[in-house]
């Protein structure tokens, strides 16, 4: 059960209500009026809790679970323990997300400006915002409605922020335009100069970085990630992108819609990433290339040339995933043969 000091629960709800929220089908044997009080992981759930099975790795935990109800794919329904009410969904994780949002809805911020917040006279803050302690909003910045600006965050000169945006504590934004419903996590740095200089042994010469960062609606940028502004033209994070922690996005990179980047990945300057591309953790993508829409790049890859739309690539340098697996197997056999020959 979530710690009530940190998480405030709504409900309870009947199975019928939850099935509707989840766009799931209630199994014939389930009682639509049964009451569920909370969500919980399979191994911790009790008879008034709802859980979910998505990753088949957890089938055994599903079979042993004491959850009163569970969201599950129809193909795993017959593995359910007796007495568990089933909500059938072809997308159990999505259905669970909707149910968990019902129990733990995002709260509207309590509007208010902390006495220690520092807001420039020429800055504008929309109605319904919460500005936390020692947050700094510099001259000419414009904050939309119902935003939260976390403690000790810094919103630089002339930054534009849409409605319903959350900026985490100690995040620093400058030279950027941010859409609606964006979530910038704590410690994120957005809009600083890109890494642009003309190398010279007598002293590298800085190239002025004259662009901005533009962040689309509904994007999320994870803790301590860094996004540099364009050198000329903009760095763009498309709508609905999900960026994890400690990610680096260099100047003039353009991410399409819905791009996912897992923690510690990085993209060098001027590369273009298509819609719905998935980039694994610790992957690096060099500069000036293109990854087509829907491509998937495995974790820890090194992408050094264009990736066609829809393909799965992996390895260093990255190649189509089948080829990478063959490389891995080939190397493994070669090494085993070598070991045998030396016995």
Is 48 an active-site residue? no
- Residue closer to a copy of itself by CB (options 68, 211) is 211
Torsion sign (Cα): 332, 334, 337, 341? negative
- Residue closer to a copy of itself by CB (options 84, 172) is 172
Q: Which of 27, 76, 175, 251 is catalytic?
A: 251
Q: Do 261 and 242 meet the contact criterion of CB atoms below 8 Å apart?
A: yes
- Residue closer to a copy of itself by CB (options 32, 117) is 117
- Residue closer to a copy of itself by CB (options 84, 241) is 241
- Count of Cβ atoms closer than 10 Å to residue 264 Cβ: 18
Q: Do 299 and 283 meet the contact criterion of CB atoms below 8 Å apart?
A: yes
Q: Do 81 and 63 meet the contact criterion of CB atoms below 8 Å apart?
A: yes
Q: Return the ∠ at Cα 62 (arms to 85 and 2), rounded to 5°.
A: 80
Q: Do 241 and 224 meet the contact criterion of CB atoms below 8 Å apart?
A: no
Secondary structure (3-state) at 327:
helix
- Count of Cβ atoms closer than 10 Å to residue 282 Cβ: 15
What is the rounded distance in angstroms from the CA atom of residue 152 to the CA atom of residue 141? 16
DSSP string, 235-295: EEE-TT-EE-TT-EE-TT-EE-TT-EE-TT-EE-TT-EE-TT-EE-TT-EE-SS-EE-TT-
- Residue closer to a copy of itself by CB (options 13, 103) is 103
- Residue closer to a copy of itself by CB (options 15, 156) is 156
Non-local CB neighbours of 140 within 8 Å, separated by 6+ positions: 120, 122, 123, 157, 158
How near is the Cβ of 198 to a copy of itself at its closest, in Å? 4
- Residue closer to a copy of itself by CB (options 75, 288) is 288
- Count of Cβ atoms closer than 10 Å to residue 250 Cβ: 22
Secondary structure (3-state) at 296:
strand
Q: Do 186 and 150 meet the contact criterion of CB atoms below 8 Å apart?
A: yes
Active site positions, annotated: 251
């Amino acid at each position: 059960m979530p710690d009530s000091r940190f998480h405030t629960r709504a409900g309870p709800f009947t199975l019928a209500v939850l099935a509707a929220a989840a766009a799931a089908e209630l199994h014939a044997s389930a009682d639509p009026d049964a009451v569920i009080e909370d969500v919980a992981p399979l191994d911790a759930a009790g008879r008034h809790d709802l859980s979910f099975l998505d990753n088949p790795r957890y089938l055994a935990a599903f079979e042993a679970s004491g959850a009163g109800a569970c969201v599950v794919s129809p193909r795993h329904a017959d593995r359910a323990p007796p007495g568990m009410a089933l909500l059938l969904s072809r997308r159990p994780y999505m259905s669970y997300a909707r149910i968990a949002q019902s129990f733990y809805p995002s709260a509207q911020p309590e509007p208010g400006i902390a006495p220690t917040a520092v807001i420039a006279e020429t800055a504008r803050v929309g109605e319904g915002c919460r500005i936390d302690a020692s947050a700094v909003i510099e001259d000419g910045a414009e904050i939309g409605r119902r935003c939260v600006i976390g403690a000790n965050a810094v919103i630089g000169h002339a930054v534009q922020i849409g409605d319903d945006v959350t900026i985490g504590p100690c995040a620093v934004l400058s030279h950027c335009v941010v859409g609606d419903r964006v979530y910038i996590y704590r410690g994120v740095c957005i809009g600083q100069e890109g890494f642009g200089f003309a190398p010279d042994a007598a002293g590298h010469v800085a190239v002025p970085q004259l662009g901005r960062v533009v962040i689309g609606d509904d994007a999320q940028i994870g803790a301590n990630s860094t996004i540099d502004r364009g050198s000329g033209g903009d760095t763009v994070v498309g709508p609905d992108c999900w960026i994890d922690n400690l990610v680096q996005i260099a100047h003039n990179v353009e991410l399409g819609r819905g791009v996912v980047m897992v923690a510690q990945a990085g993209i060098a300057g001027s590369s273009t990433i298509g819609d719905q591309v998935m980039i694994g953790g610790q992957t690096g993508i060099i500069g000036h290339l293109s990854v087509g829409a829907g491509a998937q790049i495995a974790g820890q890859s090194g992408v050094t040339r264009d990736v066609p739309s829809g393909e799965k690539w992996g390895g260093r340098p990255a190649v189509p995933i089948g080829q990478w697996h063959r490389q891995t197997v080939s190397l493994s056999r070669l090494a085993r043969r070598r070991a045998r020959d030396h016995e």
